[in-house]
Amino acid sequence: MPELNPVIVPNVEQIAREMTGTSQIGMIIKRVRLLNLLQLLKLGFNNLIYLNYLLQKDFAAGIKLLCELEILHQLNSGAKFEKKHFALHHQMVDMAVALKNRRLISYFLTLAKTYNFQPGLVTCNPLFLLKFLADVPIQTDNLVIYISAKLEPNLEKFLQESQIIWKKL
């Protein structure tokens, strides 16, 4: 398997820094202003079906919007991607698992299809994530699981023998 270097989205550290000086809306507006006209149209069109959720301050829809803004910014930055690969931040993944929020993972996988990138999920709780993913409709065969925790030997053996694409961080 070729070496994968995902861009982790959303950029939680940058968001935390920005939240000390502005509101959530101000932070989103700042990110939207970085987009070109074509990206603005795509963002608007892609989020029409999520508008009601966004207005209700739905967690999964809000994270989807932050991820999409970061992905559009990265794609517009002129960075050269050997292969477009974005991974959902471990705090979002592990929170989705803990809250049984399947929509958050599904929304991220929808972004992968929309923007044609290889999706990844970063986790500190691989066993819980694998159990959780059994109930999430995954319509991609190239999902990568990034594990940032020590694996138990039996879980590592299972992953090595499975068809799951995974990598230790």
Contact 88, 12 (CB under 8 A): no
Q: Is residue 1 one of the residues assigned to a domain?
A: no
Q: Which of 3-7, 26-30, 61-65, 97-101 has the lowest mean pLDDT?
A: 3-7
Reported pTM: 0.90
Q: What is the mean pLDDT of residues 110-114?
A: 94
With beta carbons less than 8 A apart as the criterion, state whether 57 and 72 touch.
no
Query: What is the per-residue pLDDT for 146?
Result: 95
Q: What is the mean pLDDT of residues 39-44?
A: 95
Query: How far is it, in rounded angstroms, from Cα 92 to Cα 97?
Result: 9
Number of domains, the chain? 1
Mention every residue, 6+ apart, whose C-beta is less than 8 A from residue 158.
none
Sign of the four-CA dihedral 76, 82, 86, 90:
negative
pLDDT for the residue 125: 95
- 8 A C-beta contact, residue 35 and residue 114: no
Task: Look at residue 134 and tell me whether its pLDDT is greater than 90.
Answer: no
Structural domain including 149 reads 7-168
Does residue 130 lie within any of the structural domains? Answer: yes
